[in-house]
Structure 1
């Protein structure tokens, strides 16, 4: 059996939140990794994830097919992790998540490479959310070009560098009240390390080809329960004020231009109107983390390891 060091895996979007975890997981399994990102000079932090020379960074932009084809040269597996939560400039949902996914898939097909594509739970061509429609279009384009591709749809992901738990913890530090949008909306938060393990398993050949997996954590929690968990971990008492979707959407028209943790777009409000959980069909077919033999970690088990920095006394007891 050939060793993994002879297998070159190209990871598109490898410097992002999920990407850095995927690169780490692949390094542990001794793959050679080419990280294709828009700004390679900002991805140097990935080098220590592996042995000397194991991780190599190249420039590629999904809007320029020639750069994607160059990044795929001699590669046996393509992993597409590129996604955006908000649109800006030329980085639109359609350009990145639909057309971009198609560009990677076509380059993988031309190179005769296998493909793993990361989408999102809620991807649906009929969704009222532009984000979710673009994710669905990306899935369709990937399977049209590479019918054997494995698609992963994670629920909302948490981990040390996430834009989710850190955001609420940061807001709780500066505000005595927190707006609660979609307090009853159900989510199934997945630990980013578990999602990265699933992707590495697919590269190993353990996932079904042409299948769509839905990846969620061990618990289904409402948005209110998630925020209450974050407040308990960061030892802060805050008043949660339920905000109706209509009012939230009105506010998002202004907050979409806000910086950092305050940013909220109308499309994100639309997404919050639907539950974000693993479907019964995926569970029945074994197309889940558990189906891959992965026991998912819970928010309560992992989040205290990195959210302690939002406590008033840090890691120390008051």
Structure 2
């Protein structure tokens, strides 16, 4: 047992609990990427403040640490006072907030541009030591996609307000709970066809915990301030990724590419439905996402990457079977049945 006032392995004092541990505020800390960052920071012994719009839906993050170490709190990043309140006392800040489709007041500009600028500005005012901004490889001020433009504008605002920030641009992120492989694997249960917009568009899938590792290095000051593009070890077309997913879940489905013109019409229609319903009803694709799918989503030449952070990225084949098995026709028993079938075919060994 540690003596009173002496730091243990976690950096927590025995006599005052977490009062002397460092504090990180993670905006969007219960989201897909945010929860992995929260878990990593908690394991380091940091106090973690998970700032979200619905704290009651983020109680699961409390299990990442001991009692009182991880705290979900309410925050609206469109409001200065709300952002400042949850940041007070923080040594580091990570902004994971982003949206894939607009709904009501949650617009690309309000969330990804103004929200990022607000967090960076207040972090500088509050004397925060380290700031990590989660962006995206597609960030581009000249893009036809509002998502990509506002990601770029958010990056620019962060660098202006907090020059020492670490900005991470991941490609498509995969892992348990992702909205990419899980989404298309789920579709195979209902349809013999997988329709793809931009089947030849290339991606460089990156494992979610590798992104969280990079964010951890930024939040703890072990990464140089700069922009890092994060991609996995393999570059694959959308079509090839879906073929890999189908092999993993042991299903055969026809992959059909949709013309961009048709996809744009579909996106416009579903966008209208979303607006009329106040964002309650969301279609399978938006017009803005169609624009994003026209461009490859891979790491560019001459930029900083995982290599500059000392991280070896994880390949998809090492992780997909661990969470996509539930989409197999026989679920968790698929491999057992395959082994039994192989034994029957081979016959008894002598």
1:270 maps to: 291
Distance 1:254 1:158 in 2: 28
What secondary structure sits across from 1:316 in the alignment? helix
Distance 1:261 1:281 in 2: 38
Counterpart selection for 2:202 from 186, 190, 196: 186
1:91-136 CA distance string (max 9 Å, x none): 0000000000011111101111121111000101101100000000
Question: What are the equivalent positions in structure 2 for 1:148-159 lying under 5 Å apart?
Answer: 148-159=164-175
Distance 2:317 2:59 in 1: 31
Distance 1:4 1:34 in 2: 17
Distance 1:4 1:296 in 2: 28
Answer yes or no: is 1:309 the counterpart of 2:326: yes
Is the radius of gyration larger for structure 1 or structure 2? 2
Give the conservation status (yes or no) of the 8 Å contact 2:120–2:161.
Answer: yes
RMSD: 1.7
What secondary structure sits across from 1:315 in the alignment? helix
1:245 maps to: 260
Question: What are the equivalent positions in structure 2 for 1:46-57 lying under 5 Å apart?
Answer: 46-57=61-72
Distance 1:271 1:289 in 2: 23
Question: What are the equivalent positions in structure 2 for 1:87-106 lying under 5 Å apart?
Answer: 87-106=102-121
Aligned residues: 313
2:31 maps to: 16
Question: What are the equivalent positions in structure 2 for 1:217-232 lying under 5 Å apart?
Answer: 217-232=232-247
Range with bigger deviation, 72-81 or 255-264: 255-264
Distance 2:80 2:333 in 1: 51
Give the conservation status (yes or no) of the 8 Å contact 1:233–1:303.
Answer: yes
1:196 maps to: 212
Counterpart selection for 2:177 from 139, 146, 161: 161
Give the conservation status (yes or no) of the 8 Å contact 2:92–2:220.
Answer: no
TM-superposed CA distance for 1:4, in Å, is: 4.6
Answer yes or no: is 1:138 the counterpart of 2:192: no
What secondary structure sits across from 1:79 in the alignment? strand
Give the conservation status (yes or no) of the 8 Å contact 1:183–1:222.
Answer: yes
2:227 maps to: 212
1:147 maps to: 163
Distance 2:92 2:58 in 1: 20
1:3-40 CA distance string (max 9 Å, x none): 65421111000010001111011111111111111111
Distance 1:66 1:54 in 2: 24
Assess, with a 3 A threshold, how the Cα gap between structure 1 residues 21 and 195 changes in structure 2: closer, same or farther: same
Distance 1:38 1:262 in 2: 23
Range with bigger deviation, 192-201 or 244-253: 244-253
Assess, with a 3 A threshold, how the Cα gap between structure 1 residues 261 and 165 changes in structure 2: closer, same or farther: farther
Assess, with a 3 A threshold, how the Cα gap between structure 1 residues 102 and 261 changes in structure 2: closer, same or farther: closer
1:43-91 CA distance string (max 9 Å, x none): 1000001122110121110111101001111111111000000100000
- Give the gaps of 5 or more residues in structure 2: 1-5, 13-20, 275-279, 338-350
Give the conservation status (yes or no) of the 8 Å contact 2:136–2:151.
Answer: yes
1:221-251 CA distance string (max 9 Å, x none): 1000111011111111001112111111112
TM-score (norm 2): 0.86
2:344 maps to: none
Distance 1:82 1:294 in 2: 24
2:18 maps to: none
What secondary structure sits across from 2:302 in the alignment? helix
